[in-house]
Amino acid sequence: MKNHVFALLALLFLPLVHAPLGADEGMWLFNRPPRELLKKKYDFTLTEPWLTNAQKASVRFNNGGSGGFVSADGLVVTNHHIGADSILKLSVKGKDLHRDGFYAANREDELKCPDLELNVLQDLTDVTDKVKAAVKPGLSAAEAAAARRAILAKLSKDAQAESGLRCDVVMLYRGAEYHLYRYKKYTDVRLVFAPEHAVASFGGDVDNFEFPRTDLDVSFFRVYEDGKPASTPHYFKWSTTGPADGDLVFVTGHPGTTNRLETLAHLMHRRDVTLPYMLQMLRQREALLIQYAATGPEQKRAAQNDLARVANARKAFTGQYHGLLNPEILAAKAKLEKELRDPIESNPAKYWKEYGRLWREIEDTLRKEATMDAPPLFGSMGNRGIAAERNYALVERGDAFDSQLFKIARHLVRLAEERDKDDGKRLPEYRSSAMASLQYQLFSPAPISADLERTKLAGSLAFLAENVGGGSYGMSKIMAGKPPADRAAELIAGTKLASVAERKRLFEGGKQAIADSADPLIRLAVFIDPDARKLREQFDLNQEVLQQAYASIAKATFEHYGTAIAPDATFTLRLAFGVVKGYEVNGAQLRPLTTLGDLYARSTAQENEEPFRLPKSWLDAKAKLDLTTPINFVSTADTIGGNSGSPVLNRAGELVGINFDRNRHGLVRNFVYTDVQARHVSVHSRGVLEALRHRYQAEGLLRELVP
């Protein structure tokens, strides 16, 4: 049994990717952990208690990150950059917790986050058979999509009704399997500790996806139930030693998206259609936000979170794009695909019936996504020759309307319509099982900067014009005869959606309230909705075709290689493992650990200028700190975006680090695992203790972490 298809793939190109037998690849499902692999390679026995504790002590940050319980009293550790959204929302003029940091010495000082939701996975069940039974063979793509939508809604709803838990059905292996995930949900989450942003993100965008690093990218929160700290018997013991060079480590977190099971045609589509657009869009936003942030300290604070996200995405997608421009990567992928595909396609008698059109189906569908024959938009916007996929991104995903208030308007408009439908016929984001979390976000009291909203909306309306042409009928309707800046100003000044009460009024008033509303953002959302829905419908249909083809390919793959392949990442809990290990860059050997001393040295070398400027408090604390203390380290474990804040564990299941980044060599991991130079980067558990003790004097927190 060849148990590791991508280890094979990796073998094809040396020295870029060097993966010996049993490479540390895989973001493994908790219901199919890699026991044999760990036993064989590391002589590690993965016990049931170890696994259960790791699962129930792992936390999903619903805004896109990971974390873990580190005390029995609901204390959660994550990255500073995952907590940043809440930290910024808790900041006000004159009290900038993001810039200056925060520490609640007593529990009554802990600050409730306005809209943070944490999830803890309770159990997961394979429900593939139920989905397959509902989506019968022989249906048209549209019928299959409808049947699938209905069964997924039903499974979530029934599970939720039965358990009272948050229940999601997750598609795995791009459609080959479905598992039901049940989560305990926390919405009373309070901020306990955050360091200064300058230390948490030391090196900023320059050092993002780089190593050596010396970032204290951690923050602490606490979950509450009934107004009291929640009891969390499953938690990670905080290691006072942390890992050393060569140690086996585990990462337990929620990797967001990988594309390793995608066909060659799909990767080429990413290269030639998806990523060029994404990069354009992100650069436009980044340029806008950088300029806005530079206009003053308040603007900097308001734009901080958007800017960090956009810059991070731009850097990650740039890395992916350059990876796909690497002929070696595509050649290796092509070779592997051929190996699987040739015997199937050369024996149509056997395979055609069994698998369908497979790779060709995918290619055809992607061609549709890339086609210039986009449906006319907004009545008669006409065909400006842009890809269907780009139209979808602009209009339905909402890239053309980059405003939080617009997103709220869109939800209210759609909710009014969707809530009247059968649960199984709704757009998935409005299923009854998703409603509680959606409302929690929708009615968040977190302040929204009107000034930033105006700026972002004006920029994205102009970006829409850049894509579809400035003179069309649809544009003139959207712009109402004004240039983008004036139109955005009018929309944001005119809307009342900054008020939570108004949102609730419209939510409760349903269709009639929406029809009666003169709110300009509501009217805009209503105006574009028919076209947006048409794009969504076509997109969903394409997804159905893709997933059927991928399910067949997965079947063929399992038969050919065996089933011990981890599925692509899906922002659900996974277990990865690897070794603390340095690597070589341009002939120089990099050590796998950095120290607090390295932090000060680098700041000095960069003349203490941003993004390497240390706060005065840190300069003052230098003499008190043991500068030999490790602060960051790298390992070969398999991570991706979404793993930010993931607990890193040792053999004993203790927390030895908090993952916060990959290096740039790891950016191609979306498509292929490599461990020659690719590493993930973590904060070292000892570095955190040293900073808490001698820089922050956070005695209470220390007592809780290391009693």
Residue 321 near residue 271, CB atoms below 8 Å: yes
**Interface residues for its own copies in 202-221 (CB under 8 A)?**
204-206
Q: Give the rounded distance of the alpha carbon of 50 from its chain centre.
A: 26
**Interface residues for its own copies in 587-626 (CB under 8 A)?**
606-607, 609-611
Residue 671 near residue 320, CB atoms below 8 Å: yes
Tokens of 479: 């712009």
Q: How far is the CB of 290 from its own copies (least distance, A)?
A: 7
Per CB under 8 A, the list member of 86, 467, 517, 646 interacting with its own copies is 467
Residues facing 124 on adjacent strands: 181
Q: Give the rounded distance of the alpha carbon of 618 from its chain centre.
A: 31
Q: How far is the CB of 467 from its own copies (least distance, A)?
A: 7
Per CB under 8 A, the list member of 79, 258, 259, 284 interacting with its own copies is 284
235 phi/psi in degrees, rounded to 5? -150, 165
CA separation for the pair 570, 29 (Å, rounded) = 11
Per CB under 8 A, the list member of 295, 380, 499, 604 interacting with its own copies is 295
User: 691: which residues sit within 8 A by CB, 6+ positions away?
Assistant: 195, 216, 596, 625
Tokens of 220: 């602490």
Residue 450 within binding range of its own copies, rule CB under 8 A: no
Residue 291 within binding range of its own copies, rule CB under 8 A: yes
**For its own copies, the closer CB: 321 or 558:** 321
Per CB under 8 A, the list member of 321, 351, 527, 558 interacting with its own copies is 321
Residue 272 within binding range of its own copies, rule CB under 8 A: yes
Of 521, 688, 554, the C-alpha closest to 171 is 554
Q: How far is the CB of 607 from its own copies (least distance, A)?
A: 6
Please give the single-letter amino acid code of residue 647: P
Of 230, 243, 255, 195, the C-alpha closest to 69 is 230
Tokens of 606: 């960069």
Per CB under 8 A, the list member of 164, 470, 494, 562 interacting with its own copies is 470
Residue 294 within binding range of its own copies, rule CB under 8 A: yes
Please give the single-letter amino acid code of residue 58: S
Q: How far is the CB of 281 from its own copies (least distance, A)?
A: 10
Q: How far is the CB of 676 from its own copies (least distance, A)?
A: 15
Candidate ranges 17-25, 275-283, 546-554, 694-702; the one touching its own copies (CB under 8 A): 275-283
CA separation for the pair 248, 252 (Å, rounded) = 14
DSSP 8-class letter at 615? P
**For its own copies, the closer CB: 137 or 481:** 481
Residues facing 662 on adjacent strands: 680
Candidate ranges 174-182, 245-253, 316-324, 515-523; the one touching its own copies (CB under 8 A): 316-324
Of 624, 660, 643, 647, the C-alpha closest to 202 is 660
**Interface residues for its own copies in 544-563 (CB under 8 A)?**
none
Cis peptide before 15 (omega within 30 of 0): yes
CA separation for the pair 286, 205 (Å, rounded) = 12
Q: How far is the CB of 681 from its own copies (least distance, A)?
A: 18
**For its own copies, the closer CB: 172 or 668:** 668
Residue 335 within binding range of its own copies, rule CB under 8 A: no
Per CB under 8 A, the list member of 212, 474, 484, 666 interacting with its own copies is 484
Report the interface residues with its own copies, using CB under 8 A.
204-206, 268, 271-272, 275-276, 279-280, 283-284, 286-287, 290-291, 294-297, 314, 318, 321-327, 330, 372, 385, 462, 465-467, 469-471, 476, 479, 481-485, 606-607, 609-611
